[in-house]
Structure 1
Amino acid sequence: MIEIGSFIKLQRTKREMTQGQLAKGIVSLSYLSKIENKKTEASSEIIQLLCTRLGIQLKDGFDANIQKKCKEWYNMLFEVNDKEEIISTYKELQAVMDENLTDSLLMFEIHKIRYYLIIGKYNEALTKISDLNEMSGSFDNLHQYYWYKFRGNYNSANGDFEQAIILYKSAEERLNQIEVEEKEIADLQYIISITHSKLRNTLESIEYAEKALDIYMKEYYFMRCAQCHIVLGISYRRIKMYDKAIKNYNLARHLGELNKDKQVIQLTNLNLGYLHSARGGSKEAIHNYLEVVNDLEVDLNARLTSLTALIKEYYTINNVEKTKQMIEKGFELFEQININNNDTYRIHYYVLKTYNYAINKSNSKFENLVINELIPYLKEHKDYANLVVYANMLGNHFEELSKYKDSVKYYKLANITYDELVNL
């Protein structure tokens, strides 16, 4: 149960009331501050008066209807299907929570972190984390589990995978002290696997993906099985166990086809493209990338990711005409996006402009973009794999211009970054 002082503070700030406005005629300002900061226990009469001013009804104990509605909403957040329904249900629940003090309130507040991330309101998620941090000391083990997990989600969404894995491991430590469904355990294992994959901790990624896969297979949760197979495919590709990688990709694609899930099918094609490219199979890689690029049912980010991979492939094999065609197609897709307000697509935009300048021999524009924008962006986001690619590209560019001092500088950056990547 949420502490009454923390609850009052939460509701007061939500209503944008000052302590003075809430306390006036009921208690002194200093006494309200002590109540909110859990430094004193107020009488039930004072609590009732404060809650009345806030427009809240005090309810004792367990409310089955509210808990049932909350659980339905939590499941929506887990599945992430219909965002409109998620938002609509949230508004209904928020109206109830604003008028009642119930046992479900604290868990609802913690799940708001996940909710804000799903609807893309990262600043609101951070504000909610900050608000809840003050009362986190009173969380029980179940509250702590979701508190750590959703904060991990926030850090992962912002690219801080090192901090995310610390938080996910803290959530994992709570599993022995709480009772949750098997699918919840598998979900945590899956996101730990994904995070290890982002950090290129390949063996750890395999370990957690296999744990999650075991549960999803028992639960007949085939879409998550497919996602685990994709993670395993990526991991085996990185350690050059290509046959195992292809086997996992094919299993993922088969499950995607059974469920008519285009996102899974095309994510598999994208990763098969990466695999064939790594093995020098440009023809096969191009085929897989085109499957994704030409599928209008796949989300824009997936299509752009495949398109930039396709541009790199055509450029590598010196197919100038096709490189130019794909760059033009990329800029057409970007007409749907306001790049200034959406960092999700910024890397793709940089890549398009980089290859556009390179293929058209716009040397000064190429150098300015890669040196002053792309490389700093990759460093900031710790995107070491792409940093190696574009530092090498820049080194090769300067070498062709006989600017050997600059060439050595960027080849050295590529080598140092590669060493960091290997040691991650």
Structure 2
Amino acid sequence: MGILIDIGSFIKLQRTKKDMTQGELAKGIVSLSYLSKIENKKTEASPEIIQMLCTRLGVQLNNDLDMTIQEKCKEWYSILFESTDKEKIIATYQEIQELMNSNLSENLLMFEIHKIRYHLVLGEQDAALDKINELNEMADSFDHLQQYYWYKFRGNYNSTIGEFNQAIKLYKLAEEKVNKVDIEEAEIADLHYIMAVTHSKLRNTLEVIDFAEKALEIYMKEYNFRRCAQSHIVLGISYRRIKMYEKAIKNYNLARHLGELNKDKSVIQLTNLNLGYLHSAIGNSREAIQYFMEVSEDEEVSRYQRLAAITSLIKEYYEDSNSHEEMEETITKAFEIAETVKDEMSYKLFYYMIHTYNYATKGEYEKFRSLVIEEFIPYLKEQKDYANLVVYSNMLAAHFESIGKYKDSVKYYKLANSTYEELINL
């Protein structure tokens, strides 16, 4: 037959994809119990039976065409790995899916596993979860390479939905497979990079530095300027968090230099955004404002980056009692940008930030208190966004202190302090 795969899993996968029962597939070919044994790897069917089952499923066993499918799959995996061209990703996927619908290929399982990544790239989280649940039943039959991507892409899913601890567990399982499979160094670097990013979300600083440096070593050898820059940014964030500011600035400057060499506006402005955070942290408000303004005014970068910059700009102006006019102008601009992303997940955080400062600036304190106490703080707790929880608990506490409500003030200062303790102990 020439197909060196677990045929039972493929029969089962094709049958379920076509919404066919075991009885419908088995009728006139084999008994129901025998088909069940084939699908559950408890027996090996003869080539003749496999051929009849495939014919009923509407698929062919074509070794020559399988080489074509293999090449097209490799091309698609590469596009998923490197490209941001969603139209090309979708078109290539559809072309391969058409071939898979009518040909039983040894590439089918790997193709199905990569669909998890495909749906995540397109922002289709529910579809990614459906694919994970569909493949879970046959995960025991995956070889080491299939298991590597199975763990990695499930980690990607968990990271996307904010379950970072679970994502790290899955990435570690993928890492354990690295020495058992033949994969390119670029793939290993990508795994280490996403592990660094995920550890950064959990504020595991030492792990971030370790994995980012491992990834950077490979990216430097391959002259992958974009990924080198991204690794330097992740390192810069970690060094900023542990107050090693000189090292942080060094990494940010390297990232920006690489972004300029590669004419990569996204990398340049992401670096500027993080330089703004750093200067804000050390009290250099004027420098922070310059960096935030540069990002917020650049219409070529993502709206998420612009909103992150403009909300940070609002914070800087809020701290300066002489910047009331700039504050109002910036809030108006923030509302304009936020309106274009209000249906996206990221909008909710920015919505709360902008409205909080808007109410505080205009002296609409009842609305300010209602929003922060009833909606914003519960949201930050739910998201485990401890850094922002410290900021806005302190802001609320200072407000209560300013109007003489000391009991409420102490309550929110305590929340800020306990959250800060939790933050530094993560």
Fold match, TM over 0.5?
yes
- Corresponding residue of 1:174: 177
- Corresponding residue of 2:51: 48
Q: In 1, are the aligned partners of 2:277 and 2:288 still within 8 Å (CA)?
A: yes
Q: Distance in 2 between matches of 1:414 and 1:42?
A: 65
Q: Does 1:126 align with 2:129?
A: yes
Residue 10 of structure 1: how far off its partner (Å): 2.0
| 1:120-269 aligned within 5 A | 120-269=123-272
| 1:60-99 aligned within 5 A | 63-99=66-102
| 1:332-351 aligned within 5 A | 332-337=336-341, 339=342, 341-351=343-353
Aligned to 1:304, the other structure's residue is in SS state helix
1:393-419 per-residue CA deviation (whole Å, 9 max, x = no partner) reads 111122222222222221111111111
Q: In 1, are the aligned partners of 2:14 and 2:57 still within 8 Å (CA)?
A: yes
- Corresponding residue of 1:317: 320
Farther off after superposition, 63-72 or 273-282: 63-72
Q: Distance in 1 between matches of 2:336 and 2:267?
A: 25
Residue 150 of structure 1: how far off its partner (Å): 0.8
Amino acid in the other structure paired with 2:403 = L
Farther off after superposition, 5-14 or 121-130: 5-14
- Corresponding residue of 2:387: 385
Residue 342 of structure 1: how far off its partner (Å): 2.2
Farther off after superposition, 212-221 or 317-326: 317-326
Q: In 2, are the aligned partners of 1:144 and 1:174 still within 8 Å (CA)?
A: yes
Q: Does 1:371 align with 2:373?
A: yes
Q: Does 1:293 align with 2:310?
A: no
Amino acid in the other structure paired with 1:231 = V
Q: Which runs of 4+ in 1 moved over 6 A?
A: none
Residue 106 of structure 1: how far off its partner (Å): 1.2
Residue 2 of structure 1: how far off its partner (Å): 4.8
Q: In 2, are the aligned partners of 1:145 and 1:175 still within 8 Å (CA)?
A: yes
Residue 33 of structure 1: how far off its partner (Å): 4.4
Q: Distance in 1 between matches of 2:399 and 2:228?
A: 44
- Corresponding residue of 1:114: 117
Q: Distance in 2 between matches of 1:398 and 1:12?
A: 64
Q: In 1, are the aligned partners of 2:338 and 2:350 still within 8 Å (CA)?
A: no
- Corresponding residue of 1:326: 330
Q: Distance in 2 between matches of 1:166 and 1:218?
A: 28
Residue 9 of structure 1: how far off its partner (Å): 2.7
Q: In 1, are the aligned partners of 2:9 and 2:141 still within 8 Å (CA)?
A: no
| 1:350-365 aligned within 5 A | 350-365=352-367
1:296-343 per-residue CA deviation (whole Å, 9 max, x = no partner) reads 100111111111111111111232222221111111112323x3x421
Q: Distance in 1 between matches of 2:143 and 2:357?
A: 53
Q: In 2, are the aligned partners of 1:2 and 1:105 still within 8 Å (CA)?
A: no
Q: Distance in 2 between matches of 1:79 and 1:176?
A: 23
Residue 18 of structure 1: how far off its partner (Å): 4.0
Residue 375 of structure 1: how far off its partner (Å): 1.5
Q: Distance in 2 between matches of 1:420 and 1:356?
A: 29
Q: Distance in 2 between matches of 1:18 and 1:410?
A: 59
Q: Distance in 2 between matches of 1:2 and 1:94?
A: 19
Aligned to 2:404, the other structure's residue is in SS state coil
Aligned to 2:346, the other structure's residue is in SS state helix
- Corresponding residue of 1:395: 397
Q: Give the % identical residues.
A: 68
TM-score, normalised via structure 1 length:
0.95
Amino acid in the other structure paired with 2:172 = K
Equivalences, count: 422
Q: Distance in 1 between matches of 2:20 and 2:381?
A: 43
| 1:246–1:52 distance in 2 versus 1, CA, 3 Å | same
Residue 214 of structure 1: how far off its partner (Å): 1.1
Amino acid in the other structure paired with 2:71 = K
Amino acid in the other structure paired with 1:328 = T
Residue 28 of structure 1: how far off its partner (Å): 5.3
Amino acid in the other structure paired with 2:250 = K
TM-score, normalised via structure 2 length:
0.94
Farther off after superposition, 35-44 or 342-351: 35-44
Amino acid in the other structure paired with 2:131 = K
Q: Distance in 2 between matches of 1:61 and 1:139?
A: 24
Amino acid in the other structure paired with 2:85 = D
Residue 60 of structure 1: how far off its partner (Å): 5.1
Q: In 2, are the aligned partners of 1:286 and 1:310 still within 8 Å (CA)?
A: yes
Q: In 2, are the aligned partners of 1:80 and 1:118 still within 8 Å (CA)?
A: no
Residue 212 of structure 1: how far off its partner (Å): 1.0
Q: Distance in 1 between matches of 2:265 and 2:149?
A: 30
Amino acid in the other structure paired with 1:332 = E
Residue 139 of structure 1: how far off its partner (Å): 1.2
Amino acid in the other structure paired with 1:275 = L
Q: Distance in 1 between matches of 2:22 and 2:335?
A: 53
Amino acid in the other structure paired with 1:415 = N
Aligned to 1:220, the other structure's residue is in SS state coil
Amino acid in the other structure paired with 1:143 = Q
Residue 34 of structure 1: how far off its partner (Å): 4.5
CA RMSD in angstroms, aligned pairs only: 1.8
